[in-house]
Structure 1
Amino acid sequence: MAKKKNEWLDWIKALLVALGLALIIRMFLFTPIIVDGPSMQPTLHDRDQMIVNKFTYRFWEPERFDIIVFHANTEKDFIKRIIGLPGEHVEMKDDVLYINGEEVAEPFLQDQKDEMESYEILTNDFTLENLPGEYEVIPEEHVLVLGDNRRNSTDSRVLGVIPMDQVVGKTELIYWPFDRLQIVGE
């Protein structure tokens, strides 16, 4: 009888340790997210399931074109692409991205642009000064984000620049649906 009792205690201990590890991993390292809506199409699709790396930005600085998850408000997290970094001036003119006055290619948009008529534009003109906050350059510890579906995205053009303390993490792995299993980036 004592042997059975010890066996049950061992199982309970193992289960508690496993639950504790799962909780630590989810809170501090990785967490799943489900893409909600079309704002990142065609890169990400509505209902794609992804893994968010929550520790990357504790050790490395964000990079242009990283896809991040951030707290848009108290109820909702958004997933967007970093376009502008701290200290930079961002402008979009005639569907061309300019960072500090230099043209920057956005290769992840090329297929969309190729499908458009010559008179159509994907991204309306804007400058950093026209966005909420009216900054001349992106402040330290902030990033400017845009959705890949520029015609249907609530991003920095509406929200302003995003404080890094609101960033949950970087995401690049689609794990479901299985036929879309891939690492996304540029």
Structure 2
Amino acid sequence: MKVRPTVLVGQPWPKSPWLAVNLSAALPGAGQIYDGAIARGIVIAIAFWGLIAFMLWSIFAPTGNTLRGLLGLGPLIGLYLFTLWDSHHVAKRGITLREFSPLRYQSQDPWYPVFLSQVLPGLGHLFLQQAAVGGLLLLLGIAIAYGANFNPRLLPLPPAIWAVGCGLAYRAAPTRRRQWGLLAGLLVAIVVTRCAISAIPFVVPRQVVQCIVPSESMLPTLAVGDRIFVRPQPPDFVPAVGDIIVFSNPERTPIEQAGSLDQLMVKRVIALPGQQVAVRQGRVWIDGTPLADPHLKEPILYQWGPETVPADHLFVLGDNRNRSRDSHIWGFLPRPHVVGNAYKIYWPPQRVQPLTEPSTSIKNKNLRSSQFQNLG
């Protein structure tokens, strides 16, 4: 026979293990803080968000190791599951993993249906044998979550439905005492956390573009199949000689569609507006000065120029100069075609490396065309 805890006047209400689990599910470490294990909760929160920060840095930073960042997902999931179990364990000393299992849990704790509703809206109502409401919330949550994958305007709706499902499950659960303040805090945490997570797939593409190298034109710097990160640049982007840039193919892309993410090419910037460029004696010459090309394996076999780069254009070449279709074939690159700078090979693992500016002469490193400043 189960004995319910008796609460005397003036005594605090007993800690709810499943409220602690709910808090940790929304914000890792919050359940431990609710349980009174403040130091442990702070450590867990720092470890959890620190691990996320490390993963993001490893994946997206130029010098980060992409594979190491992806492998961090295992410890992150492990820490999250431990946080849920530990918050329950601290609130109810002596709990076992068998008792913690949601499939075996038979308590009347009103926060348990709320936890199920955090997993999927409607599951809490199904547990409470309210099939109609539970089924409606479940179908609505899945449908809107699916639609939000294609329409960013729907992003706030799935977290709102999750929060509504949790709130309704708590209201429907039998209990002798309601803790509306804690429920409100929990629902706010659910909405904020889930909005932040669901926004990632839409925010990241605005900061980083992923591309696959299609040809051998950039050997040995880039190999066929290398996956690279490109940092999108604003319209007034000022490149430098030596930058590796990604751009829409000027031979196939109309100027009206310049900068689109279809039919992309990757080359190195060789000359800027106003500079005279020529190819002779197996080398590139900029304003009469030979350009240092330490990354090249063989001398250039063709002759080109001299010609002056017109305003709002670039002269670009592949590092594999003799096997690259670039400016020496189709002419100067209109600047609107540029998508951004390629800054990192992020895959395959053995090829992960930053794409830094080559070691050129001081003059070439500092070449920035003042004509860019006045271009529209």
Which TM-score tier does this pair reach, normalised by the shorter chain? 0.7 to 0.9
Deviation, 1:18, is: 3.2
CA distance in 1 between counterparts of 2:313 and 2:222 reads: 23
Larger-Rg structure? 2
Looking at secondary structure, tell me which structure has more helix per residue: 2
Mind listing any 5+ residue stretches in structure 1 that lack a counterpart?
A: 114-120, 130-136
Choose between structure 1 and 2 for higher RCO, CA contacts under 8 A separated by at least 6 residues: 1
C-alpha deviations, 1:57-108, integer Å up to 9, x for none?
A: 5575201011000000344100000001111110011112111122221122
Are 1:8 and 2:162 matched, yes or no? yes
Counterpart position of 2:229: 51
1:16–1:146 Cα change, 3 Å: same
Question: Would you say how many aligned residue pairs link Structure 1 and Structure 2?
Answer: 168
Letter in 1 for 2:281: D
Name the SS for the 1:151 alignment partner: helix
Mind listing any 5+ residue stretches in structure 2 that lack a counterpart?
A: 1-109, 122-159, 164-186, 254-261, 359-376
Q: Summarize the alignment of residues 115-134 of structure 1 with structure 2, pairs less than 5 Å apart.
A: 121-129=299-307
Are 1:159 and 2:337 matched, yes or no? no
Are 1:61 and 2:215 matched, yes or no? no
Counterpart position of 1:18: 197
Q: TM-score, normalised by structure 2?
A: 0.41
Contact residue 92 and residue 123 of structure 1 kept, 8 A: no
CA distance in 2 between counterparts of 1:154 and 1:140 reads: 22
Name the SS for the 1:22 alignment partner: helix
Q: Summarize the alignment of residues 73-152 of structure 1 with structure 2, pairs less than 5 Å apart.
A: 73-74=252-253, 75-109=262-296, 112-113=297-298, 121-129=299-307, 137-152=308-323
Letter in 2 for 1:8: W
Name the SS for the 2:295 alignment partner: helix
Alignment root-mean-square deviation, CA: 2.5
Contact residue 143 and residue 161 of structure 1 kept, 8 A: yes
Counterpart position of 2:89: none
Deviation, 1:184, is: 2.2
Deviation, 1:8, is: 2.1
Letter in 1 for 2:338: V
Counterpart position of 2:352: 181
Letter in 2 for 1:18: I
Deviation, 1:180, is: 1.0
Letter in 1 for 2:202: L
Name the SS for the 1:158 alignment partner: helix
Looking at secondary structure, tell me which structure has more strand per residue: 1
Identity %: 31
C-alpha deviations, 1:118-145, integer Å up to 9, x for none?
A: xxx434110154xxxxxxx212221110
Letter in 1 for 2:199: G
